[in-house]
Amino acid sequence: MILSVRKWVQRFKFLVTFIVLTYLMYLLLAVISEWIQPADRYKEPGGRAVKVFQPGRLAEEPDGMIDRLRMFYWYGQ
């Protein structure tokens, strides 16, 4: 059996290049996903926006589920 060192070196270079490029692609996708994702999804909205769910309001005004659902669809949220 004849083993070609040149072929094994080329295969090893290809394998190392493939692993390095795969890792760089993984890092790039991780950076992009962090950039796209909002900082805090559950913070109080700013401007004229209103949070749909307010826990204190449910204790003060006991509206039924149908009324809350109707309000939800009325405002188009």
Q: Is the pLDDT of residue 60 over 60?
A: no
**pTM score, whole prediction:** 0.48
In angstroms, rounded to a whole number, what is the distance separating the alpha carbons of residues 27 and 33?
A: 10
What are the sequence ranges of the domains in the chain?
Answer: 5-38+53-75
pLDDT per position as a tens digit, 14-36? 999 999 999 999 999 999 988 88
Query: Which residue matches tokens 């949070």?
Result: 51
Higher pLDDT, 69 or 21: 21
Q: What is residue 7's predicted lDDT score, i.e. its pLDDT? A: 93
Question: Is the pLDDT score of 10 beyond 90?
Answer: yes
> CA dist 31 to 15, 19, 35, 36, 64, Å?
24, 19, 6, 9, 44
